[in-house]
Amino acid sequence: MFKSNLRKLLLLFLIGTLLLPKVSITIMAETVDTNRISILTYNIAGLPACFSSADPEKNTKKIGELINNFDIVAVQEDFAYHDDLLSTSQFPYVTEHPGNVPFGSGLNVLSRYPIKNSENITWNMTHGNLLCPPPFYHGADELTPKGFSYQRLELEPGVIVDLYNLHADAGDDEGSIEARHNNFVQLAEYINNYSMGNAVIVLGDTNGYYTRECDNIYESLTTKCALVDPWIEYVRNGDIPEFRPYDNIMDDINEDLSGPNYETIDKIMYRSSDIVSFNFIDYKIEDELFIDKNGDRLSDHFATSITLDYDVSKDIKLSSIFGGSSGKPFNFIEKSQKKPCKVTIRAGKRVDAVGMYYNQQVTSAGGDGGEFYELELEDDEYIVRVKLCQDKKYCWDENQIYYIEILTNKGKVLSGGTKTEEEMIIDAPEGWQISGFYGRADKEICQLGVIMMPIVIEE
């Protein structure tokens, strides 16, 4: 541990002004066409070879080849050999490489499913730098923008999952322990604010154990976000490990690594939504896959994988989204399983806000600019079409929603904003109605999609 931390700290100190971020590329491959998905998390130890705890100069291309066995892959410590990883992996969607140390987080996602949004968020608290006494003991967590990344994946049109890839604070000292627990609290708050109503996958290098009370992962993250950890739920039949003395962890590699008595820090958790339900198939520590010809591990971490089947609701549908990725996510899904009685918008040059009334209770998103418009819906009147236009306020900005037009089955129209050349028309399927919105907004609507439900005729 001391030698590894020393080498990492020296690396960051020596090359901090020498290395420039690298730009990722996208390699096209066939997409999946079944409802079974395989998911992998792997800390690939990708520091430059002379400082890494493994041998990434030799092993990264092999890792890239082997991760092709999976549908969604989250990697950590993907720093100096990202191009090697891409040279042998074949995924149609890859996040933009955030750069080498000390500029990048080391977090990347490779997926066979479209990545609709991608953001990197740094931790509010980290601990460990050259000035922390004793020198080199506390890790190097403050010397890279360590944190978590957020990606919105589209398993199929209208079937979205929010993916969170994390690398938590390392170290055994008091400052590192406090920072790591704070990391889990921060991530849970972000998930609960930004992924309301959505299916979620959380995976990565937690640097934590359920057996450590100071980490308190189960209460701070797993339970807080209503996540399922398949190792606890299915491998241990719901038995949560009891707290133990700090160093008494379940890490005996002579155990069955995929069994109930071995806990890894490289975890995968998930939750379902009203739109998509996950069904557990398999959990595995991939100790026999990620090895070289001599049987040696390709990284100083084990890779963890799970396999899930997913079912899509027959009672709720989501459209694809339109617009940019700025603003904060919102979702009307908790209320939109009822027929709205009124729809509202605020609009001027752009669309400022959207809203729906359900039994006289309003759910809305956006700001208070523009003019206010509303449309009362009769008992037998339904929204059947929404037309959207997008554009950029400035050439360097993200797209946002410039125009909205809402059409009912009785031909009534509610519209506002400015029409542009880039448009999307969303038609509800026959027998369905548009009952809500989801997307992203701040003072204006940045991104928009619709929620649909079957038309129920009450007698």
pTM: 0.88
Domain shared by 77 and 213, yes or no: yes
- Amino acid 144: pLDDT: 80
Domain shared by 289 and 364, yes or no: no
Q: Give the CATH number of the domain where residue 323 resides.
A: 2.100.10.30
Which residues, including other chains, have CB under 8 Å from residue 84's CB and lie 6 or more apart? 56, 60, 61, 64
Point out the domain boundary residue: 260, 291, 312.
312
Q: If you average pLDDT over every residue of the chain, what do you get?
A: 89
Domain shared by 219 and 341, yes or no: no
User: Rounded to whole angstroms, how far apart are CA atoms 10 and 66?
Assistant: 31
Instruction: Give the Å distances, CA to CA, from 238 to 232, 234, 256, 260, 309.
Output: 5, 6, 18, 10, 20
List phi, psi (to 5°) of 374: -145, 160
Residue 446 lies in a domain: yes
Residue 261 lies in a domain: yes
Burial 388-424 (b: 16+ CB within 10 A, else e): bbbbeeeeeebbbbbbbbbbbbeeeebbbbeebeeeb
List pLDDT tens digits, range 226-244. Answer: 999 999 999 999 999 999 9
List pLDDT tens digits, range 395-437. Answer: 888 999 999 999 999 999 999 999 999 999 999 999 999 999 9
Domain shared by 186 and 327, yes or no: no
Residue 459 lies in a domain: no
Residue 122 lies in a domain: yes
List pLDDT tens digits, range 86-108. Answer: 999 999 999 999 988 788 899 99
Point out the domain boundary residue: 281, 312, 343.
312
Domain shared by 332 and 289, yes or no: no
List pLDDT tens digits, range 105-125. Answer: 999 999 999 998 899 999 999
Domain shared by 259 and 297, yes or no: yes
Domain shared by 288 and 346, yes or no: no
User: Rounded to whole angstroms, how far apart are CA atoms 207 and 172?
Assistant: 10
233: which DSSP letter?
Answer: I
Query: Could you tell me the residue range of the domain that residue 65 belongs to?
Result: 2-312
Domain shared by 77 and 141, yes or no: yes
List pLDDT tens digits, range 24-44. Answer: 323 233 444 469 999 999 999
Residue 256 lies in a domain: yes
Domain shared by 331 and 253, yes or no: no
- Supply angle C-alpha 134, 136, 139, rounded to 5: 115
Instruction: Give the Å distances, CA to CA, from 306 to 47, 290, 302.
Output: 26, 15, 13
Mean pLDDT of 180-188: 97
Beta bridge partners of 454: 432
> Structurally, how many domains does the chain consist of?
2
Point out the domain boundary residue: 279, 312, 345.
312
Q: Give the CATH number of the domain where residue 259 resides.
A: 3.60.10.10
Number of Cβ within 10 Å of residue 268's Cβ equals 24
**Alpha helices of 76-173 — where are they, by DSSP H?**
82-88
Which residues, including other chains, have CB under 8 Å from residue 445's CB and lie 6 or more apart? 323, 327, 350, 351, 352, 353, 354, 365, 366, 400, 401, 404, 439
Domain shared by 400 and 440, yes or no: yes
Q: Above pLDDT 90, what percent of the chain?
A: 76
